[in-house]
Amino acid sequence: MFKIPFLDLPPLRAAAGTVRLPGSKSISNRVLLLAGLSEGQTLVHDLLDSDDTAVMLASLKVLGCQLEQVPGGPLKVTGIGGRLVNKDAQLFLGNAGTAMRPLTAALALLAATQGGAFELAGVARMHERPIGDLVDALRELGCEIACLGSEGYPPLRLSGPSRLRLAEPVRVRGDVSSQFLTALLLALPLVAQQDVVVEVVGELISKPYVHITLELLKRFGIEVRADGWQRFTIPAGSRYRSPGEVHVEGDASSASYFVALGAIAAADTPIRIEGVGSASLQGDVRFVEAAQAMGAEVRAEANALEVKRGAWPLKALDLDCNHIPDAAMTLAVMALYADGPSTLRNIASWRVKETDRIAAMATELRKLGASVEEGPDWLRVHPLRAWKPASIHTYDDHRVAMCFSLAAFNGLVTDSAVPVRILEPHCVAKTFPDYFETLFEVVTARPEDIPVLTIDGPTASGKGTLADEVAHELGYVILDSGMLYRATGLAAHRAGLDLDDGAAVAAIVPAMDLHFRKGRVTLGEEDITEALRAEAAGLMASQVAAHPQVRSALNQLQLDFRRVPGLVADGRDMGSTVFPDAPLKVFLTASAATRAERRYKQLISKGISASMEGLRADLEARDARDKGRSASPLKPAQDAQSLDNSAQTIEESRDLVLAWWAERRPF
């Protein structure tokens, strides 16, 4: 996950490959609550690992549930059997509506029947999300609920005991959020000594999410009798019984971004999406129908989808989106690639989600240059051809961040492709922590569109540390070119090759799966950092570096590190020879005395004796050799920014380089 202030996406051109979806948020939190309330143990497979599930798990633990993660396997949940273990607790639920609403209902009813006091709170945005209709329904039942801030909004205090009135139907509005009805359906079996009836007032929105609730209740032993979508009866004597094992299917809302990706950019080879398909419980899988209406070619299996571009540009559509409220946001960005204006209707629920999503989508689409119209429950988006580079404010809303990643494909409809900046990209942790990493695995960009920042300099100037810091702040790939020859020699030696056979050594270079991050080097899954620092690795590096074939292969490998979203490369000739088109080239210097002192401190900290004078002499001699080399001599590129860090901390150098980089970006 990219825990950085912003992530810049270069213009993207194509997509192909396979995506494995994380578990459904809606199913994960429902299953966790049901398992926590049930008797016995439940093994939960493929549970979503996200912010929303984390707060639910933390709450269940506080309430007395036992949670055990089986190594490499399912989560074992031992439920409380409907009996409160802890009757006094404060729960923090972040911005997770799928935790706040059902826990409010369940704890209000348990406090009423068993006594207790519970306070439920969240982040500031959660305290702006209405819960009054659920609170009103629970108060009508006899629950004692106090709104600790604004009436009708969290934070809440739930207390008891109190006398419940279950003889009359429980009435709840259905036209604001289906989560209110879901919360009651999940909680009322706890107190169903008699038939309990729930009546929906008004038109129920987001019916597919209620369908998920009803199906999961069946798995835990509760057979709710439904009369259409207006009246639901929980039978007398209902109680939760663990099914033993539950498998969480992939998140259909998250699938929408990759279905859209296929419709937009999979022109030759389809995107395969594993985890949802024709057998999915989730209503958002019907996003596929909307994508098909816009021209996508889709092949559905029981638990997988394959999506390819069909019509291009996409076809405009006018759609009632009540059945796919979360996934429909993706259509707003797809509309930018359409052949006419697209209208999304019946989306009033967007106003009370993680943010006011109608206003948010309209605002951010306009930043890109789009013409957008909005109403109380609709949004109209016109296709866009003259795109502007934009910083997309994500409002701490995971779906805004993921939707707007698709705007990076603007080069498919304009000759002047522009990058897109996603602010606070880590907000995707709510449902899909590795979203951007997953996206980058299946998209391609032109090499010239992928930004490169180079940091060259003499030995012990700190260029590797600086490159690591800069790459981390930008979310970019890192290339430590100085370690490539050592890694090549080590890999060839391990493969049993003759290091004097240049052709044989060069042949293994393209297959080396090397990664550099925070001063560590991995080859495949193995950390080889310490092995590369050994004297033997240096000797092997010198041996293989003598072969022209190896140097040529490593030059290509260096070029291949130019990957989405961008690259920071450090070495001796990254800016002058390997990446001469890099928009920012830094030549890092420091006095020989400063570098000798740094190296001395490093060696002493490791228990290695050293002489300051000797280290300085060695560095000066190394500088002379590097500058006098016939191949790739050490020298700054003509347009390099010189940075003497003799008197700077690494943080000061990093911030200066990032400031130079910001001057070269279009945002």
The set of catalytic residues is: 326
> Which residues does 482 contact at the CB level (< 8 Å), separation at least 6?
464, 570, 571, 572
3-state secondary structure 383-422: CCCCCCCEEECCCCCHHHHHHHHHHHHHHHCCCCCCCEEE
Among 92, 242, 88, 114, which Cα is nearest to 190's?
114
Residue 600 neighbours by CB under 8 Å, 6+ apart: 610, 612, 615
Write phi, then psi, for 166 (nearest 5 degrees): -105, -5
Alpha helices in 129-199 (DSSP H): 132-141, 178-187
Under a CB-based contact definition with an 8 Å cutoff, are residues 255 and 273 in contact? yes
Residues 6+ apart with CB under 8 A from 407: 333, 336, 368, 387, 390, 392, 420
Contact call for residues 570 and 520 (beta carbons, < 8 A): no
Q: How far is CA 297 from the centre of its chain?
A: 26
CA 323 to chain centre: 25
Could you give the CA distance from residue 350 to residue 328 in angstroms, rounded to a whole number? 10
164: three-class secondary structure by DSSP: coil
> 565 preceded by cis ω (within 30°)?
yes
Q: How many helices (H) and strands (E) does the chain have?
A: 21, 33
> Using CA atoms, how far apart are residues 573 and 580, in angstroms rounded to an integer?
9
Q: Is the dihedral of CA 291, 292, 296, 299 positive or negative?
A: positive
- Comparing CA positions, the residue from 2, 96, 132, 90 lying closest to residue 431 is 96
Contact call for residues 587 and 641 (beta carbons, < 8 A): yes
Give phi and psi for 49, each to the nearest 5.
Answer: -100, 100
CB–CB of 430/563 below 8 Å?
no
- Give rounded-to-5 percent helix, strand, coil for the chain: 40, 20, 35
Please return the burial class of 651, using the count of CB atoms within 10 Å of its CB with bins 0-12, 13-18 and 19+: exposed
Place of tokens 């493929």: 46
CA distance 77 to 37: 10
354 conformational bin, left if phi > 0, alpha if psi -120 to 50, beta if neither: alpha
The crossing angle, in degrees rounded to 10, of helices 398-405 and 435-442 is 10
Question: Can you tell me the distance from the alpha carbon of 489 to that of 495, in angstroms, rounded to the nearest whole number?
Answer: 10
How many CA atoms, within 13 angstroms, populate the side-chain half-sphere of residue 642?
7
SS3 353: coil
Q: How far is CA 116 from the centre of its chain?
A: 37
Torsion angle, alpha carbons of 653, 657, 659, 664, to 10: 170
481 vs 169: CA distance, rounded Å = 71
- 247 CB neighbour count, 10 Å cutoff: 13
